[in-house]
Structure 1
């Protein structure tokens, strides 16, 4: 039986391949539009909670892509993608105790990962 961690890692790889291999000529890279679609469809709560004030979701994702594309070739290989994903997860974890639901009058907390940290 596989562990939750193994399942999560396999899921990351599978999601990456689902988006990097969509085009008629599949490759093992993510173009900016594929990266944007991947995050919007698979990381909504993380994006919502890590979105900088005054920034749109598209601007934020464009900035993530620009920072991730270390060799400036216009696409992300798996290492660039997973490094960016880790940074997104770290940021989301660091703010997970702060209110996240940005809807006026709402008091949601965290990105919805469903667990607490440490004793109450």
Structure 2
């Protein structure tokens, strides 16, 4: 019995050394989509370590083309989408994959506008 315990511990130690640990946690990944309501310009980001970094990056890209940008949606380890209607109404939402996020964004936009179309979607964290 003592040899079995020693052998088991040796194998476990080797596995830990090779994998870097028994379990490794995946870091959260944030993204955001920014919109200029006046011009329709967008900015987006993905795979940032914090919500603030993701929002700042999306805003920075949007501000290159417009001065009235605002964050429409942020998301963590998921996907976000932004939809807009022909009258300028818009809506945004997030979900676990891009197809669901796009549907949710169109539904959100449809509460404020008509004929809504997705104008931007983005995923973060490998989703």
Q: TM-score by structure 2 length?
A: 0.24
What TM-score does the superposition give when structure 1 sets the normalisation length?
0.25
